Amino acid sequence: MIDGAGRILEKEVLLKEDILKLLSAEGEERKVLFTKASETKAKQVGKKVYYRGLVEFSNVCGKNCYYCGIRRDNKNLKRYNLGNKEILDAVKFAYDNRYASIVLQSGEIESPGFTDRIEELLREIKKISNNELGITISLGEQTKDVYRRWFDAGAHRYLLRIETSNPELYKKIHPGDGRHDFNRRIECLQSLKDIGYQTGTGVMIGLPFQTMNDIADDILFMRDFDIDMIGLGPYIEHKDTPLFQYRDKIMPPSERFSLTLKVIALLRIIMKDINIAAATAMQAIDPMGREKALMAGANVIMPNITPGKYRDSYKLYENKPCTDEEAEDCTNCLEARIHMTGDEIGYGERGDSKHYARRRGKGGTGG
């Protein structure tokens, strides 16, 4: 069996049937897949992990996704919205600790006031960091004009997860209320690319109704869309969501975890020089989840620098780890964990996507 995976991985271009075979790889074949991914990572992006200090600044959301714990109709959640000073204090922590990049993430809101606030925050972040911090934002679907305003204000990466590339599955995990449209999601991703963002997306692995065929198509979608960075993780059910009723009909968490590692490995092999985040959701299933993701090909970690008292309220899924810690605790813990993988931390380096640099025809990675 080991020869089968090895032969497939010698191909220049993997077909869908090849991807499906590798997604089902176990035992020695699985080891071959992970070894190839590790070698590709070392050769293409180096054995370096880049930090993105994550500020989950609000759990107020206008969307009602069936899988998400901060969905609009969840009445069992204490809502919060950090003040600008609290956000900027967290950003200053990241800057002072040489993270070199931060991520601003919140529930999805579309309003002129929200747009203005983010624009102001972005300009302040550039100011307090001497224009040095890399800025990723993950704030959902917006108009192209809003994306452009935020780009001009200083954001240069945007993560907009599609969650699935199958339009029919998308309809099953979102309400048909006119505010959850697959085509708009794709249009938003295209707008982000056109404006010049390093463009990121991602999917959930192990969703109800999802097939292996869907997951293979997800990988091909990200390849064909020419994505610069990827944030994906296992689906983890939340008791206050409509999809929770299907919890007994999906694969066990350990299988979702294993499958996610294989998807990470395949994306590293197929897309080579993209940035791939080791999602916190991995650690919600396996205590060594993020480390295993790094060894399977991921090269970005997002230490949570949200003030500790708010962390438990930004719960997209159950069993979210590290909600009782402060930013300093997270930093010390991650440093030890990353060194265990054989990688080093790129302190003071933004670690911009090499794929983006190549796609845009630029030299270098922006440091």
The predicted pLDDT at position 327 comes to 61
CA 85 – CA 277 distance, rounded (Å): 27
CA 299 – CA 45 distance, rounded (Å): 8
Task: Report which of residues 339 and 103 the model is more confident about.
Answer: 103
All residues at 6 or more sequence positions from 345 whose CB lies less than 8 Å from its CB, including other chains: 48, 49, 50, 51, 335, 338
CA 350 – CA 367 distance, rounded (Å): 5
From its phi and psi, is residue 229 left (phi > 0), alpha (psi between -120 and 50) or beta?
A: beta
Q: Confidence band (pLDDT; 50, 70, 90) for 4? A: confident
- For 299-339, the pLDDT digits (tens) are 999 999 998 777 677 777 566 555 555 666 666 677 888 98
Q: Which of 162, 160, 166, 155 is nearest to 203 (CA)?
A: 162
Region 78-83 average pLDDT = 95
Contact between 208 and 229 under an 8 Å Cβ cutoff? The reply is no
Q: CA of 1: how far to CAs of 19, 29, 32, in Å? A: 16, 7, 10
Determine the straight-line distance between the first and last CA of the chain, rounded to whole angstroms.
42
Start-end of H helices in the chain: 2-9, 16-23, 27-44, 84-96, 112-128, 144-153, 167-172, 182-195, 212-224, 253-271, 280-285, 289-295, 308-311, 327-340, 354-359
CA 233 – CA 277 distance, rounded (Å): 9
- For 188-220, the pLDDT digits (tens) are 999 999 999 999 999 999 999 999 999 999 999
Q: Confidence band (pLDDT; 50, 70, 90) for 364? A: very low
Question: Which residue shows structure tokens 């620098």?
Answer: 305
State the DSSP string of 109-166. ---HHHHHHHHHHHHHHHHHTTT-SEEEEE-----HHHHHHHHHHT--EEE---B-S-
Q: Which of 187, 53, 174, 55 is nearest to 121 (CA)?
A: 55
Helix (H, G, I), strand (E, B) or coil at 339: helix
Its pTM surpasses 0.85: yes
Length of the chain (residues): 367
CA 342 to chain centre: 22
- Is 90 exceeded by the pLDDT of residue 340? no
Query: In the structure encoding, which two tokens stand for residue 298, read together?
Result: 């991921």
Q: Confidence band (pLDDT; 50, 70, 90) for 2? A: very low
- Is 50 exceeded by the pLDDT of residue 1? no
Handedness of CA 288, 234, 353, 153 (dihedral sign): negative
Task: Report which of residues 335 and 93 the model is more confident about.
Answer: 93
Looking at 149-158, 278-287, 291-300, which range is the least confident one?
A: 278-287
Question: Which residue shows structure tokens 């983890």?
Answer: 236
The predicted pLDDT at position 143 comes to 98
346 by Cβ neighbours in 10 Å (0-12 / 13-18 / 19+) ranks as: buried
- Is 90 exceeded by the pLDDT of residue 31? yes
CA 299 – CA 267 distance, rounded (Å): 12
Region 15-26 average pLDDT = 97
Q: Confidence band (pLDDT; 50, 70, 90) for 365? A: very low
Domain ranges for the chain: 46-351
- For 45-55, the pLDDT digits (tens) are 999 999 999 99
CA 127 – CA 338 distance, rounded (Å): 30
CATH code, residues 46-351: 3.20.20.70
